[in-house]
């Protein structure tokens, strides 16, 4: 899988020490250091092992159901073209990650990591989860390979994502509700790290997003890059050229980096990452760490974080549990500072509106995370010419979110 990159490639990072410019790195307690050095060593071996990727590809095809379609969204295209100025309103495509087994892109990464776990001889799996999508995907691969699995989930999220909690239990996982902090994703990650540090000898931590200590941001990105690689082939097949613009939601940022990364060296492809703007980035209730935060160190990496002047981490807010995190993956921080990707916040209200529009226009119920990406369409379709090609990553399906949406709309189920 090692490929030759062009000179000055934007895809050459992280460097040997795990940094993307000033971001990334390995900021972990000494107990974990030897383990993540081992993980890196094992990943380097796997990268060059055709058998590893043959097994990965076979599972992607027959267990996950890949490739996921690149779908032309005709009514969405018409809807926004009608509202756009004359000559504007690009063709809108959806990358249908929500059609994957378990209903989101998360499974791509879990397959890759559990194969690594088994190569390393680890016999137990742990993971953190916010919305529960990563927890479900981890529990799924743990069941598939017969390894015991413990999922750490903030007690607040356990409450607002009950269907996913039950799914994880059906899949044989133990779900541990975390009661520290705001009891959401950040706190779940703290407790997963605490458990891991006490069980490093036999336990593999499947981190759910392209964040954490090196080599996690790199390997999660590599496993998720299947999204962008497929999009590239599929668009060439359908339109005979590359897309002009890519849009994806960024919580930790794994679906976004997966879509963006294979296109970073194609300067004609523009990219927009959508941060969760919550009640608005001028309030204290949002999760837009690039727009409203600054660089700092948390959970093993240096990246943009929501924090106060003393470096205390502040609580994030988003209607989408999967975006409710005060940081993001370090490669996004680097892509932000380098200017290659434009990051924009979208509020809860905008996401809710886009959620409903997608349901009624395309017959697709998107995850609230993906609805944030869809909410960038009013702006982007007004700017892009009608012969342009726009791809939205529909990273997950919204069945898990219908209770949250019903509550926000004042509907009692």
Q: Which residue numbers are catalytic?
A: 106, 128, 395
- Decide: is 378 part of the binding site for other proteins (CB under 8 A): no
- Decide: is 3 part of the binding site for other proteins (CB under 8 A): no
Going by the DSSP 8-state scheme, the letter that residue 307 receives in this structure is: B
Report the residue from 3, 7, 8, 17 that binds other proteins according to the rule CB under 8 A.
17
- Decide: is 16 part of the binding site for other proteins (CB under 8 A): no
How far is it, in rounded angstroms, from Cα 246 to Cα 66?
Answer: 20
Least Cβ distance, residue 297 to other proteins (angstroms): 4
Report the residue from 11, 21, 27, 280 that binds other proteins according to the rule CB under 8 A.
27
Measuring CA to CA, how many Å separate 302 from each of 169, 275, 329, 334?
Answer: 34, 18, 9, 10
User: Which helix or strand (DSSP H or E) is residue 305 part of?
Assistant: strand 300-305
User: Which helix or strand (DSSP H or E) is residue 330 part of?
Assistant: helix 330-338
- Decide: is 29 part of the binding site for other proteins (CB under 8 A): yes
- Decide: is 150 part of the binding site for other proteins (CB under 8 A): no
Least Cβ distance, residue 198 to other proteins (angstroms): 4
Least Cβ distance, residue 33 to other proteins (angstroms): 5
Report the residue from 5, 15, 34, 360 that binds other proteins according to the rule CB under 8 A.
34
- Decide: is 101 part of the binding site for other proteins (CB under 8 A): no
Q: Is 275 exposed, middle or buried (0-12, 13-18, 19+ CB in 10 A)?
A: buried
Number of residues counted as binding other proteins (CB under 8 A): 36
Going by the DSSP 8-state scheme, the letter that residue 251 receives in this structure is: S
Q: Using the minimum distance from each CB to other proteins, give the nearer residue, 213 or 243.
A: 213
Copy the structure tokens of residue 116: 């690594």
* Half-sphere exposure for 243 (CA within 13 Å, toward CB): 33
Q: Using the minimum distance from each CB to other proteins, give the nearer residue, 43 or 93.
A: 43
Q: What are phi and psi of 107, to 5 degrees?
A: -60, -30
CA triple 98-206-171, angle to 5 deg: 65
Kindly indicate which of the ranges 53-61, 117-125, 276-284, 305-313 contains the residues binding other proteins, using the contact rule CB under 8 A. Answer: 305-313
User: Which helix or strand (DSSP H or E) is residue 347 part of?
Assistant: strand 342-347
- Decide: is 317 part of the binding site for other proteins (CB under 8 A): no
Report the residue from 3, 30, 202, 282 that binds other proteins according to the rule CB under 8 A.
30
- Hey, how many other C-beta atoms are within 10 angstroms of the C-beta on 34? 10
Our measurement of the distance from residue 56's CA atom to the centroid of its chain's CA atoms, rounded to an integer in Å, reads 19
Report the residue from 10, 39, 151, 305 that binds other proteins according to the rule CB under 8 A.
305
Q: Using the minimum distance from each CB to other proteins, give the nearer residue, 198 or 406.
A: 198
Q: Contacts with other proteins in 174-193 (CB under 8 A)?
A: 180-181, 186, 190, 193
All residues at 6 or more sequence positions from 42 whose CB lies less than 8 Å from its CB, including other chains = 116, 119, 120
Least Cβ distance, residue 378 to other proteins (angstroms): 36
Measuring CA to CA, how many Å separate 296 from each of 194, 300, 327?
Answer: 20, 11, 9
Least Cβ distance, residue 354 to other proteins (angstroms): 32
Pattern 193-232, other proteins, x by CB under 8 A: xx--xx-xx-------------------------------
Report the residue from 9, 311, 379, 407 that binds other proteins according to the rule CB under 8 A.
311
Going by the DSSP 8-state scheme, the letter that residue 274 receives in this structure is: E
Can you give the binding site for other proteins, defined by CB under 8 A? 17, 25-35, 180-181, 186, 190, 193-194, 197-198, 200-201, 296-300, 302, 305, 307, 309-314
């Amino acid at each position: 899988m090692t490929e030759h990159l062009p000179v000055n490639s934007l895809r050459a990072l992280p460097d040997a020490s795990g940094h993307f410019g000033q971001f990334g790195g390995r900021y972990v307690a000494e107990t974990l250091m030897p383990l993540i050095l081992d993980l890196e060593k094992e990943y380097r071996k796997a990268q060059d092992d055709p058998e590893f990727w043959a097994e990965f590809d076979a599972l992607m095809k027959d267990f996950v159901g890949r490739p996921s379609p690149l779908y032309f969204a005709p009514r969405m295209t018409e809807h926004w073209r009608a509202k756009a100025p004359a000559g504007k309103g690009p063709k809108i495509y959806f990358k249908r990650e929500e059609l994957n087994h378990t209903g989101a892109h998360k499974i791509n990464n879990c397959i890759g990591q559990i194969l690594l776990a088994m190569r390393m001889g680890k016999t137990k799996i742990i993971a953190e989860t916010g919305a529960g999508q990563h927890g479900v995907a981890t529990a799924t691969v743990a069941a598939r390979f017969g390894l015991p699995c413990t999922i750490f989930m903030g007690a607040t999220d356990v409450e607002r994502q009950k269907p996913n909690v039950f799914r994880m239990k059906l899949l044989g996982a133990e779900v541990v509700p975390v009661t520290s902090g705001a009891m959401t994703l950040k706190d779940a990650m703290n407790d997963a790290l605490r458990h891991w540090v006490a069980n490093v000898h036999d336990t593999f931590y499947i981190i759910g997003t392209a964040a954490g200590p090196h080599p996690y941001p790199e390997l999660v990105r590599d496993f998720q890059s299947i999204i962008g690689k497929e999009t590239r082939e599929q668009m060439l097949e359908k339109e005979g050229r590359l897309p002009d613009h890519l849009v994806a939601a960024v919580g930790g940022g794994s679906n976004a980096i997966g879509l963006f990364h294979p296109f970073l060296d194609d300067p004609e492809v523009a990219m927009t990452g959508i941060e969760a703007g919550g009640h608005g980035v001028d309030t204290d209730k949002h999760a837009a760490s690039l727009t409203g935060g600054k660089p700092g160190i948390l959970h093993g990496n240096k990246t943009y974080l929501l924090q106060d002047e003393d470096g205390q981490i502040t609580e994030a807010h988003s209607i989408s549990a999967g975006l409710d995190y005060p940081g993001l993956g370090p490669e996004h921080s680097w892509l932000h500072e380098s200017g290659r990707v434009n990051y924009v916040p979208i509020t809860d209200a905008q996401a809710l509106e886009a959620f409903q529009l997608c349901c009624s226009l395309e017959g697709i119920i998107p995850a609230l995370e993906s609805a944030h990406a869809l909410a960038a369409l009013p702006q982007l379709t007004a700017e892009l010419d009608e012969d342009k090609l726009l791809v939205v990553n529909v990273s997950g399906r919204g069945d898990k979110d219908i209770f949250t949406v019903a509550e926000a709309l004042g509907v009692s189920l």
